Amino acid sequence: MYEFNLTLDLPFDQALEKVREVLMSEHLGVVSDVDVQAIFKNKMDKDIPAYHIYGACNPKLADRVISAEPNAGTLLPCNFVLRETEDGKTVVSFMDPVTVLGLSQAPEVQGVGQEAREILQRVVAKLGG
């Protein structure tokens, strides 16, 4: 499986704040934000519900990946999606870092993938609780 997810009974903006707060509690920061909704509107004049792709990063884990295999930076950061549903809820979908970092043959990189998965699973548990 390439991702794991949960649905929050929150509107998009409130869900985003909650996700950011929980990520920070696990020493992950949001380092990128791709506003797919705005891109589709600007480039194709297509309206979709709120949909953002975010990159979450723990610099110490990223350093271990890049130090072990410099080109493995192409597999970073850990992406997650927040998307609004038609009923006003928000789906949070996290990329499975084990799957992505498992593309590397370096044991250190694969180990970071396992650690990152454990962190993200704690994030999901906190969000769901």
Q: Residue 70 sits in a domain of what CATH number? A: 3.30.310.70
| Residue 63: domain span | 3-128
| pLDDT at residue 71, rounded to an integer | 97
Q: What is the pLDDT of residues 46-77, one digit of tens each?
A: 999 999 999 999 999 999 999 999 999 999 99
**DSSP code of residue 127:** H
Structural domains of the chain, count: 1
Question: Does the predicted TM-score (pTM) go above 0.85?
Answer: yes
When pLDDT is averaged across residues 108-113 and rounded to a whole number, the result is 98
Please answer whether residues 43 and 36 qualify as being in contact, where contact means their C-beta atoms are separated by less than 8 angstroms.
no
